[in-house]
Chain A
């Protein structure tokens, strides 16, 4: 599964990006380059779905794929798929629950939601059985604090809360393949029953530990998308994630920039006020272009410029900024090109 995902990423990047780009994408690196790439190359579902991925593990996987003849490298080190690699990718792609993944939407909240759920279920299950001493399966402070507050609200109705959790979770999990549902449930901890480690799940289903991580992400993302799209049907589970939902997932710094922009300040003014480099503010603007549906491209580039750039990108069938810039005789800046591409990639119109 992980191998197939890596093949897919290599395929999407068209040999225009290195293995590092895949690492940054899967680990959800917060850089505007990664952010923009993810949109440009159609990899939004996978952004940040494997945050603990180590470079050496990705490299090992790439070597295996190379030995199998599925991928090769250009002279600059960028990987690309061979004929054989493309065939195997097409064959295998539908074997896995990739369609449940939605990294761009959920990467910033999936762990929070899931950790809260795990720890609260452990707590409620134990305390409802009269067991007040247990070792919490997680020790992140924010999660523990949240669970404590939740517990304060729910402590005199734990059995009914658990009942509702059970109803909602089983409702959701019956909609996905039973093996995936099983992995999700085995991972959970209750009274006198600690959940499975990733290694144990890998052994049980005879898959790699990377596959386990991706499966869990897929299972969690499916829960989130089901809950968020129908909060009235899943009110209890919704209470585990509603405060995390952010309509436009922006970095903190970008949010500040947006506030100033909305007040009508120019890029130069914001640079001075915030004491930041112009390129940083430009990064923020590209971020808005990517995710903010109300973003107005023409505040930053003229209609003609936007059309020029998007036509060229379409013609060259590339997202490589340098190639586009050169083909347009350096008429436009990198910022202009990036912001146009970002708008196009979001699905907006450049005209």
Chain B
């Protein structure tokens, strides 16, 4: 297959006329049978890097994905494009559905699953017996490094799985992975000689701005001002569900000209989909959300991404900002900071791993209830409720106990010295992981207080050189909201009766007019 024919295949199967930066190079290497580590910025079509080879390769592409919602989104999108030989195996499926998928496992061209599912002996058995896995993809590969060491240890077992599946070609993809994370990914996957395709993640059409304010109410006031002068498609990130709801309410009270809604993980599946699609479909202008929103959001005309609260690291920040301006037009990232704001992610970091007290009481419990009373380790749910600790804490601890030989399968193996040593080791490890996260947060906070160019300092840890911005750079250099001109044509709220609405939905009456504001900015 010669590279020049790739374009026609692309057109034929995916409806695009050209590849985006990096896609073709990665695809080329993958089809040549090389293991590839691809770092491509958000919004540049990472998934095409394995969906395209799936069309050309014999056998099946297996994709390891960290989040169920992400898998489901991908499968939906593929099916929408008319690609049917695709499935996602996840814990939402019931026994019957799973059985049906397993029975026809060899009929799929793309199979999505979680690293945990891959440890399911039945699934792995079906996979290695029935399916010729020709390409093994680790999507969002930074999760190996970010989560693998803590509460998703199954991410660290992928190297074994690769062997069990007969060493297929490997493709690891991520949007944000600095050098040390890249090295960790390759090491954990046991393939240290992967071909690296690293593409710069700076976005030349996004301008950066940081505003220091005194508290949340000031942020909301400022948002009202900005959204009045700049009524553009906007995402506002909050760290809590409550705030996303509250802000959506306050903003919609005073910004009658905008359609505003909130989105968070506490809403049910159907309603989440409706809100997401309304936003994609330009039925909503502003969405107040938590980080649950965004994965798989493929809207090209988001003009403004506001961080009302901070994420906990630069990587997440860059990913979230990267949802703006996918169409290449001038877009803006605005981050608010008020004194004490870093306490929220700090508290989150502190709570993410079990503290010394939890560690101590869990070990004591294992000793008394397990060793002395001769009990076996029970299911995760039972252990969590007996210990009164969260899922992530227990998963982390269970993995640590296994690693230190305190637990084998369901047996609790007591050895005084070993346990003492393990206790110290786990304590040290928790401290170390927590310190790393605090340092990452510090980097972000440090960036917010930069006096020099925000663009330069943001991307510095990830790449050597920068593209020059196509429009504004940042508020330290040339950006001010009053210099940014946007199309102010606004949506006019029409009040129509339900009868009129129903007419439109059922395409009755006057020729249907699209309910779109028709922005051209």
Q: Please give the residue numbers on chain A whose beta carbons come within 8 Å of chain B beta carbons, in ascending order.
A: 52, 121, 125, 128-129, 133-135, 137-139, 141, 159, 162-163, 165-166, 169-170, 173-174, 178, 181-182, 184-186, 188-200, 203
Question: Does B271 sit within 8 A of A, measured CB to CB?
Answer: yes
Shortest distance in angstroms between B246's beta carbon and chain A's nearest beta carbon? 12
Shortest distance in angstroms between B261's beta carbon and chain A's nearest beta carbon? 6
**Are A135 and B76 in touch, CB under 8 angstroms?**
yes
CB contact list, B254-288 vs A, under 8 A: 261-262, 267-268, 270-275, 277-278, 281, 283
A-B contact pairs, 19 of them (CB 8 A): A125-B507, A135-B273, A163-B508, A166-B506, A178-B498, A181-B498, A184-B498, A185-B502, A189-B274, A191-B505, A193-B515, A194-B274, A196-B274, A197-B261, A197-B271, A197-B275, A198-B271, A199-B271, A200-B261
**Which of A52, A138, A190 lies at the interface centre, i.e. has the most chain B CB atoms within 10 A of its CB?**
A190
Question: Does B512 sit within 8 A of A, measured CB to CB?
Answer: yes
In the assembled complex, which residues on chain B have CB atoms less than 8 Å from the CB atom of A198?
268, 271
Shortest distance in angstroms between B113's beta carbon and chain A's nearest beta carbon? 18
**Are B270 and A199 in touch, CB under 8 angstroms?**
no
Measured between alpha carbons, how far is A43 from B503 in the docked complex, in Å?
A: 37
Given A135-B273, A185-B498 in contact, is the A121-B268 Cβ separation under 8 Å?
no
**Are A159 and B501 in touch, CB under 8 angstroms?**
no
**Are A125 and B505 in touch, CB under 8 angstroms?**
yes
**Are A190 and B504 in touch, CB under 8 angstroms?**
yes
Question: Does B378 sit within 8 A of A, measured CB to CB?
Answer: no
Given A52-B268, A138-B270, A194-B278 in contact, is the A185-B76 Cβ separation under 8 Å?
no
Shortest distance in angstroms between A188's beta carbon and chain B's nearest beta carbon? 5
Question: Does B80 sit within 8 A of A, measured CB to CB?
Answer: yes
CB contact list, B267-312 vs A, under 8 A: 267-268, 270-275, 277-278, 281, 283
Question: Does B249 sit within 8 A of A, measured CB to CB?
Answer: yes
Measured between alpha carbons, how far is A174 from B252 in the docked complex, in Å?
A: 30
Question: Does B95 sit within 8 A of A, measured CB to CB?
Answer: no
Shortest distance in angstroms between A207's beta carbon and chain B's nearest beta carbon? 14
In the assembled complex, which residues on chain A have CB atoms less than 8 Å from the CB atom of B507?
125, 128-129, 159, 162, 190-191
Question: Does B347 sit within 8 A of A, measured CB to CB?
Answer: no
Question: Does B56 sit within 8 A of A, measured CB to CB?
Answer: no
**Are B498 and A186 in touch, CB under 8 angstroms?**
yes
In the assembled complex, which residues on chain A have CB atoms less than 8 Å from the CB atom of B272?
197
**Are A195 and B274 in touch, CB under 8 angstroms?**
yes
Measured between alpha carbons, how far is A169 from B508 in the docked complex, in Å?
A: 13
In the assembled complex, which residues on chain A have CB atoms less than 8 Å from the CB atom of B275?
197, 199-200
Per a CB cutoff under 8 Å, which of B261, B497, B512, B514 touches A199?
A: B261
Given A194-B274, A196-B274 in contact, is the A121-B498 Cβ separation under 8 Å?
no
Question: Does B499 sit within 8 A of A, measured CB to CB?
Answer: yes
**Are A133 and B498 in touch, CB under 8 angstroms?**
no
Per a CB cutoff under 8 Å, which of B81, B245, B503 touches A166?
A: B503
Q: Which residue of B lies closest to A193 (CB)?
A: B515
**Are B281 and A192 in touch, CB under 8 angstroms?**
yes
In the assembled complex, which residues on chain B have CB atoms less than 8 Å from the CB atom of A184?
498
* Extra A-B contacts (19), CB below 8 Å, given A129-B512, A192-B514, A200-B275: A125-B507, A128-B507, A133-B80, A134-B80, A162-B506, A165-B506, A166-B503, A173-B498, A178-B497, A181-B498, A185-B505, A190-B505, A193-B283, A196-B274, A197-B261, A197-B270, A197-B274, A200-B261, A203-B249
**Which of B268, B270, B505, B515 lies at the interface centre, i.e. has the most chain A CB atoms within 10 A of its CB?**
B505
Q: Which residue of A lies closest to B500 (CB)?
A: A185
Question: Does B428 sit within 8 A of A, measured CB to CB?
Answer: no
**Are A193 and B504 in touch, CB under 8 angstroms?**
yes
In the assembled complex, which residues on chain A have CB atoms less than 8 Å from the CB atom of B262?
199
Q: Which residue of A lies closest to B514 (CB)?
A: A192
In the assembled complex, which residues on chain A have CB atoms less than 8 Å from the CB atom of B270?
137-138, 197
Question: Does B516 sit within 8 A of A, measured CB to CB?
Answer: yes
Q: Which residue of A lies closest to B282 (CB)?
A: A192
Q: Across the A-B interface, how many residue pairs have beta carbons closer than 8 Å?
A: 101
In the assembled complex, which residues on chain B have CB atoms less than 8 Å from the CB atom of A138?
270
Q: Which residue of B lies closest to A200 (CB)?
A: B261
Shortest distance in angstroms between B265's beta carbon and chain A's nearest beta carbon? 13
**Are B278 and A125 in touch, CB under 8 angstroms?**
no
**Are B277 and A194 in touch, CB under 8 angstroms?**
yes
**Are B283 and A194 in touch, CB under 8 angstroms?**
yes
Shortest distance in angstroms between A306's beta carbon and chain B's nearest beta carbon? 43
In the assembled complex, which residues on chain A have CB atoms less than 8 Å from the CB atom of B498?
173, 178, 181-182, 184-186
**Which of A159, A182, A185, A186 lies at the interface centre, i.e. has the most chain B CB atoms within 10 A of its CB?**
A185
Given A52-B268, A185-B501, A199-B271 in contact, is the A121-B514 Cβ separation under 8 Å?
no
Measured between alpha carbons, how far is A233 from B76 in the docked complex, in Å?
A: 38
Q: Which residue of A lies closest to B252 (CB)?
A: A203
In the assembled complex, which residues on chain B have CB atoms less than 8 Å from the CB atom of A192?
281, 514-516
Given A135-B80, A185-B502, A192-B516 in contact, is the A166-B508 Cβ separation under 8 Å?
yes
Measured between alpha carbons, how far is A200 from B504 in the docked complex, in Å?
A: 20
In the assembled complex, which residues on chain B have CB atoms less than 8 Å from the CB atom of A195?
274
In the assembled complex, which residues on chain A have CB atoms less than 8 Å from the CB atom of B501?
182, 185-186
Q: Which residue of B lies closest to A195 (CB)?
A: B274
Measured between alpha carbons, how far is A52 from B271 in the docked complex, in Å?
A: 13
**Are A137 and B502 in touch, CB under 8 angstroms?**
no
Q: Which residue of B lies closest to A134 (CB)?
A: B80
**Are B515 and A137 in touch, CB under 8 angstroms?**
no
In the assembled complex, which residues on chain A have CB atoms less than 8 Å from the CB atom of B503?
166
**Are A135 and B277 in touch, CB under 8 angstroms?**
yes
Given A52-B268, A129-B512 in contact, is the A193-B249 Cβ separation under 8 Å?
no
Per CB-CB distance, the 9 closest pairs between chain A and chain B, nearest first, are: A190-B505, A197-B271, A166-B506, A182-B498, A185-B498, A194-B277, A162-B506, A197-B274, A194-B278
In the assembled complex, which residues on chain A have CB atoms less than 8 Å from the CB atom of B502?
166, 169-170, 173, 185, 188
**Are A125 and B506 in touch, CB under 8 angstroms?**
yes
Measured between alpha carbons, how far is A193 from B512 in the docked complex, in Å?
A: 12
In the assembled complex, which residues on chain A have CB atoms less than 8 Å from the CB atom of B506?
121, 125, 162-163, 165-166, 169, 190
Per a CB cutoff under 8 Å, which of A128, A188, A197 touches B267?
A: A197
Shortest distance in angstroms between A217's beta carbon and chain B's nearest beta carbon? 15
